[in-house]
Amino acid sequence: MDILYQLWSHFLIRNFNTQMYDEFRYFAFYDSSHRLSGVGLGNLIKFYGESLLSPRGLIRKRIARDYVELVKSEDEYQGPAFKQLRSALRNGALDARNRKRIGDMLDPDLKASLE
């Protein structure tokens, strides 16, 4: 599965496919909860970060929403998705439209934690 996760995380940036994304996300969470493997979630988080910082344009609403939900699900905002999102939001090269799209999905507590 490791190779498949890597393929998904790279391929979906350039050639987004909803069904493939759904499979990627499903198996990443399944492996994390049932097989106690973080490889899938690690690649999913990497995909979210690359989607947010991609020069290809605006992050899809669904991807942004799923990313924010993953950050919210992490314990005390200390997980890898939170750290990656905080780093991306502090990155001066982040497209203003992506910053707004993500910012609009954040609740006040999470927004304060990311600053």
Q: Is the pLDDT of residue 76 over 90?
A: no
Q: Where are the domains of the chain?
A: 2-114
pLDDT band at 110 (very low <50, low <70, confident <90, very high): confident
Residue 45 is predicted with a pLDDT of 95
**Confidence check: pLDDT of 68 > 90:** yes
pLDDT single digits (tens) 2-59: 888 888 998 999 899 999 999 999 999 999 888 877 888 999 999 999 999 988 788 9
**Long-range contacts (CB closer than 8 Å, 24 or more residues apart) made by 30-39:** 31/1, 37/1, 39/1, 39/2, 39/5
Residues contacting 54, CB < 8 A, separation 6+: 13
* Per-residue pLDDT at 57: 82
> Which of 25, 5, 24, 110 minimizes the C-alpha distance to 68?
110
